[in-house]
Amino acid sequence: MTETQAGIEAAAAASGSSNVPAIELDGVVKEYLSQGEAVRAVKGVTMSITEGEFFSLLGPSGCGKTTTMRMIAGFEDPTQGKVWLHGQDVTDVPPNKRDVNMVFQSYALFPHMNVWENVAFGLRRKKVAADEIKRRVGEILEIVDLTGREKRRPREMSGGQQQRVALARALVNNPRALLLDEPLGALDLKLRQAMQIELKRIQREVGITFVYVTHDQSEALTMSDRIAVMNDGQVDQLASPREIYERPATPFVAGFIGTSNLLSGTVDRITSGFAVLKLGGEDRVLVAGETHRAGDPIAVTVRPEKIRISTEEPTGDVSVVRGTVFEVVYLGLYNSYAVSLADGAEVTVFQQNAVDSTSTAERGDAVWLSWQPQHSYAIGS
């Protein structure tokens, strides 16, 4: 929870002038009754989403991310806690009275209405004047590149087009925030990548807060300003994509986002701001941090692409571990090496296939692995 708190403070500091957050969750808990037993889907989530930000809720299926979003939309009532939209407590406000709109995973377009009627639905409910509805629907259809398809029925359109109708139908209402529930999940890879860029462009263009639920870490890293990584009903880490990738707060985050190596041992000594982790033999791992004490058990992560593999002993103030290569996989852009260490741990190393690369190794080679101290982080458990 300390990470979450830190995240909120960071967000508050970052937003600076914009005083009221777009969305705030305060100790939100959701319990379901399943066969007479209370199941906690969301176990106390507190977060604050800044106005105009692209915010992602990332996590594996069943982590509570969709339930959290549905509580923001108003489709689920929190068992405990409060939901605030722009400084207003909306915990007991029904979804049709909340100033947020949602894009559903299944698109949920009205099958008996054509594109134009689908998009105009929200404005008609708000009793907007007919000529203004006409103008705004026309404008938004232009933004999502569907002009000329007003008379089509949803079932006559491709998945990508339906997706854009769903987006237009939500955006046309000028919501204070747009909630997107895995909106690209049903599209194929090429289209999904195109739509990621498209979504980001639209978000910049309309300047609305986007809350994006996904289980796809690369999608979240590409598009988001900030990400909340959820695990088992709780937020494990809330930070920028770079920070989440490079400084995962928990072993779960380290494992869920990209590939990560986890090394554990005990702190040997403290030298000039670094804790030196002893793994055995000449191995030494340097970790930044003043708070560690000799004898403490410690776990450290390092990303595969930060490690340099070499058959000669490296020099300088770097972390060094020795091992044996037992697998080399050629992946085009880079090679992936699997290296086993003296204590039996396995380390993955990515090495770019540059022309002048001196750092190559063959299967069975005894190698030195080295990396800069700032690339490894101690993580809590």
Site residues for other proteins per CB under 8 A: 73, 75, 94-97, 101-102, 104-106, 108-112, 121-122, 125-126, 155, 169-170, 173
Burial class (CB in 10 A: 0-12, 13-18, 19+), 185: middle
Q: Write the CB contacts of 143 (distance below 8 Å, at least 6 apart in sequence).
A: 168, 171, 202, 205, 206
Judged by CB, which is closer to other proteins: 22, or 275? Answer: 22
Per residue in 96-111, is it b (16+ CB within 10 Å) or e — as a string?
eebebbbbebebebee
Cα separation of 372 and 153, whole Å? 57
Judged by CB, which is closer to other proteins: 158, or 374? Answer: 158
Q: Closest separation between CB of residue 110 and other proteins, Å?
A: 6
Q: Closest separation between CB of residue 175 and other proteins, Å?
A: 9
Q: Closest separation between CB of residue 169 and other proteins, Å?
A: 7
DSSP string, 293-318: -TT-EEEEEE-GGG-EEESS---SS-
Judged by CB, which is closer to other proteins: 72, or 195? Answer: 72
Record the tokens describing residue 7, joined without a space.
């995240």
Judged by CB, which is closer to other proteins: 96, or 381? Answer: 96
Judged by CB, which is closer to other proteins: 169, or 303? Answer: 169
Q: If you count DSSP H runs as helices and E runs as strands, how many of each does the chain have, helices first?
A: 9, 20
- One-letter amino acid of 310: S
Q: For the CA atoms of 367, 372, 373, 379, what is the dihedral angle to 10 degrees?
A: -80
Q: Closest separation between CB of residue 349 and other proteins, Å?
A: 44
Burial class (CB in 10 A: 0-12, 13-18, 19+), 340: middle
Q: Closest separation between CB of residue 201 and other proteins, Å?
A: 24
Judged by CB, which is closer to other proteins: 21, or 154? Answer: 154
Q: Closest separation between CB of residue 101 and other proteins, Å?
A: 6
Q: Closest separation between CB of residue 113 and other proteins, Å?
A: 8
Q: Write the CB contacts of 354 (distance below 8 Å, at least 6 apart in sequence).
A: none
Q: Write the CB contacts of 76 (distance below 8 Å, at least 6 apart in sequence).
A: 30, 67, 70
Judged by CB, which is closer to other proteins: 31, or 117? Answer: 117
